[in-house]
Amino acid sequence: MTTLDEFTIQQLRLYPQATGELSGLLRGIGLAAKMVSSLVNKAAIADILGEAGNINIQGESVQKLDQLANQTFINVLRNSIYCAGMVSEENDDIIVFDDPKNNQSKYVVLMDPLDGSANIDVNMPIGTIFSIYRRVSELGKPCTKEDFLQKGDNQFGAGYVLYGSSTMFIYGTKRHSVNGFTLDNSVGEFYLSNPHMQIPESGKSYSFDRKYYYSVSDKVRRYIDKCDYSEEGKEDNFSNKNYGSMVADMHRIFFKGGIFMYPSRIGKPKGKLRLMYECNPMAFLAEISGGQAIEESGRRIMDEQPENIHERSSIFIGSKNLINDFLEI
């Protein structure tokens, strides 16, 4: 069995010019993920459930675990020397790890440290989503906003961690496709369990919060009606699966196929999800594993030029054929 560390270190054999910086960075993200997994597992007995008492830049109430997860990733990545800076859902501005070592790093990371916060208190699946870019600013100097405000297409790698019935680390690069690792708690390591993940071309489920059915656009409603349609007595309509955590919903789609939708709606012209650390990394993983990810207008998510680190985007993502069906409408 190959561990996450071994897996990334093996890549160094294939590319003699590689410096090992990326494997160091991934080791850091993996370590922080294990720390967060441990916090999530004991949350109810460690008095870390519930609200932290502040509101983030998104106007959402921050949970204690949101804060702890955020602090864990920031601390580990700052100490790891393999990352020049970070963007997090929970921090208004970019976080610059301004010290001589981190300034030499060619990578920056964007992340949603804890996705699906509403699931925390009820012991339902939650996750972490991350995106890795190569810097565009000069090495040796502190990183800048321009390093982060890059199109999704420029992502060097992306991944997510699912804190579910087991903890999984899913990570993808264009070169090595998407690979899934499962945490063995007794050893404290992620082991390669799902090499070369591929999204099924089609599927029979959609993730969408039906609460919003009446406030989305006509075309989205028409697509949902199509998913719900069945010939009498056939039950050939789609299942409606919605865990309320994009990580959990997408994880299911990576294995079983399907479509995840967070459209625009009245009063929320760009939906809710954040382009830089929710939509782009998931779009990257979906595309390199055979799926598609678009905005409501039909444009590819990863073609979008971001203007703001916290900007939002509508998203339709998942099995290729289902996205094509939506595009037809």
What residues make contact with ligand AHG under the rule CB under 6 A? 60, 89, 112, 115-117, 209, 244-246, 272
Nearer residue to ligand AHG within complex by CB, 175 or 210: 210
295 makes contact with Mn ion (CB under 5 A): no
Number of residues that bind Mn ion (CB under 5 A): 4
Q: Which of residues 63-92 bind Mn ion (CB under 5 A)?
A: 89
249 makes contact with Mn ion (CB under 5 A): no
d(CA 297, CA 311): 17
Nearer residue to Mn ion within complex by CB, 22 or 253: 253
Shortest separation between residue 117's beta carbon and Mn ion, angstroms: 5
Nearer residue to Mn ion within complex by CB, 112 or 304: 112
d(CA 101, CA 123): 39
Nearer residue to ligand AHG within complex by CB, 115 or 189: 115
Nearer residue to Mn ion within complex by CB, 7 or 160: 160
List, in order, residues 6 or more apart from 175 with CB less than 8 Å away. Answer: none
Q: What DSSP line would sit under 121-166, residue for residue? A: GGT--EEEEEEEEE--SPTTS---HHHHS--GGG-SEEEEEEESSS
What residue type is assigned to position 27 of the chain?
R
Given Mn ion, ligand AHG, none, residue 245, with its beta carbon under 5 to 8 Å by kind, binds: ligand AHG
112 makes contact with Mn ion (CB under 5 A): yes
Nearer residue to ligand AHG within complex by CB, 116 or 257: 116
Shortest separation between residue 308's beta carbon and ligand AHG, angstroms: 17
Across 56-125, where does the E strand assignment appear?
61-63, 85-88, 95-96, 107-115
Given Mn ion, ligand AHG, none, residue 272, with its beta carbon under 5 to 8 Å by kind, binds: ligand AHG
Task: Report the Cα 263 to chain-centroid distance in Å.
Answer: 17
CB-count exposure of residue 47 (10 Å: 0-12, 13-18, 19+): exposed
115 makes contact with Mn ion (CB under 5 A): yes
Dihedral angle over CA of 264, 86, 290, 295, nearest 10: 20
Given ligand AHG, Mn ion, none, residue 244, with its beta carbon under 5 to 8 Å by kind, binds: ligand AHG
Shortest separation between residue 47's beta carbon and ligand AHG, angstroms: 21
- 117's tokens: 């916060």
Given ligand AHG, Mn ion, none, residue 209, with its beta carbon under 5 to 8 Å by kind, binds: ligand AHG
Task: Report the Cα 85 to chain-centroid distance in Å.
Answer: 18
Shortest separation between residue 39's beta carbon and ligand AHG, angstroms: 16
Host H or E run for residue 170 = strand 167-173
Q: Which residue is nearest to Mn ion (CB)?
A: 115
